[in-house]
Structure 1
Amino acid sequence: MQSNTAITASSSFQGNALAAFSFLLWGLMPLYYQFLPNADINELLAFRILFSVPFMALVFVLLGRKMPSLAMLKADKKSVLLCGLASLIMCVSWYSFTWAMTHGQVLAASLGFFINPLFAIALGVLFLGDKLSNAQKMAVVLGTCGISYMVYSYGELPWLALSMGSFFALYGLCKKFIRFDSLTSVTVEALLLMPVAALYLIWLWGSDQSVVISSAMSGELSTLLLYIGSAPVTLMPLVFFALAIRATSLSMIGLMQYVEPSLQFLLAVLVFNEHFDQVKAVSFALIWTGLLLCSLEALPKLRKKTKAPV
Structure 2
Amino acid sequence: MQSNTANTASSTFQGNALAAFSFLLWGLMPLYYQFLPNADINELLAFRILFSVPFMALVFILLGRSMPSLAELKADKRSVLLCGLASLIMCVSWYSFTWAMTHGQVLAASLGFFINPLFAIALGVLFLGDKLSAAQKMAVVLGICGISYMVYSYGELPWLALSMGSFFALYGLCKKFIRFDSLTSVTVEALLLMPVAAIYLMWLWGSDQSVVISSAMSGELATLLLYIGSAPVTLMPLVFFALAIRATSLSMIGLMQYVEPSLQFLLAVLVFNEHFDQVKAVSFALIWTGLLLCSLEALPKLRKKTKAPV
With normalisation by structure 2, the TM-score equals 1.00
Which blocks of at least 5 consecutive residues in structure 1 are unaligned?
none
Task: Give 1:152 shift.
Answer: 0.1
**Cα RMSD (Å):** 0.1
> Percentage identity across aligned positions?
96
1:45-98 per-residue CA deviation (whole Å, 9 max, x = no partner) reads 000000000000000000000001000000000000000000000000000000
> Per the alignment, in what secondary structure is the counterpart of residue 242 of structure 1?
helix
CA–CA separation in structure 2 for the residues paired with 1:48 and 1:289: 35
Which blocks of at least 5 consecutive residues in structure 2 are unaligned?
none
1:232-265 per-residue CA deviation (whole Å, 9 max, x = no partner) reads 0000000000000000000000000000000000
2:304 corresponding residue in structure 1: 304
Determine if the alignment matches structure 1 residue 179 to structure 2 residue 166: no
Task: Give 1:176 shift.
Answer: 0.1
1:81-135 per-residue CA deviation (whole Å, 9 max, x = no partner) reads 0000000000000000000000000000000000000000000000000000000
2:75 corresponding residue in structure 1: 75
Task: Give 1:2 shift.
Answer: 0.2
CA–CA separation in structure 2 for the residues paired with 1:210 and 1:6: 56
Task: Give 1:295 shift.
Answer: 0.0
Determine if the alignment matches structure 1 residue 121 to structure 2 residue 121: yes
Task: Give 1:11 shift.
Answer: 0.1
Task: Give 1:149 shift.
Answer: 0.1
CA–CA separation in structure 1 for the residues paired with 2:109 and 2:68: 32
Task: Give 1:296 shift.
Answer: 0.0
1:30 corresponding residue in structure 2: 30
> Per the alignment, in what secondary structure is the counterpart of residue 178 of structure 2?
coil
CA–CA separation in structure 2 for the residues paired with 1:68 and 1:224: 29
1:244-302 per-residue CA deviation (whole Å, 9 max, x = no partner) reads 00000000000000000000000000000000000000000000000000000000000
CA–CA separation in structure 2 for the residues paired with 1:34 and 1:3: 48
Task: Give 1:216 shift.
Answer: 0.0
With normalisation by structure 1, the TM-score equals 1.00
CA–CA separation in structure 2 for the residues paired with 1:95 and 1:212: 18
Task: Give 1:212 shift.
Answer: 0.2
Number of aligned positions between the proteins: 310
Over 3 Å off, 4+ runs: none
CA–CA separation in structure 2 for the residues paired with 1:200 and 1:309: 56
CA–CA separation in structure 2 for the residues paired with 1:188 and 1:257: 25
CA–CA separation in structure 1 for the residues paired with 2:280 and 2:62: 44
CA–CA separation in structure 2 for the residues paired with 1:98 and 1:306: 37
> Per the alignment, in what secondary structure is the counterpart of residue 252 of structure 1?
helix
> Per the alignment, in what secondary structure is the counterpart of residue 87 of structure 1?
helix
CA–CA separation in structure 1 for the residues paired with 2:68 and 2:104: 38
> Per the alignment, in what secondary structure is the counterpart of residue 209 of structure 2?
coil
Task: Give 1:184 shift.
Answer: 0.2
Task: Give 1:214 shift.
Answer: 0.0
Task: Give 1:203 shift.
Answer: 0.1
CA–CA separation in structure 1 for the residues paired with 2:187 and 2:127: 26
CA–CA separation in structure 2 for the residues paired with 1:242 and 1:19: 9
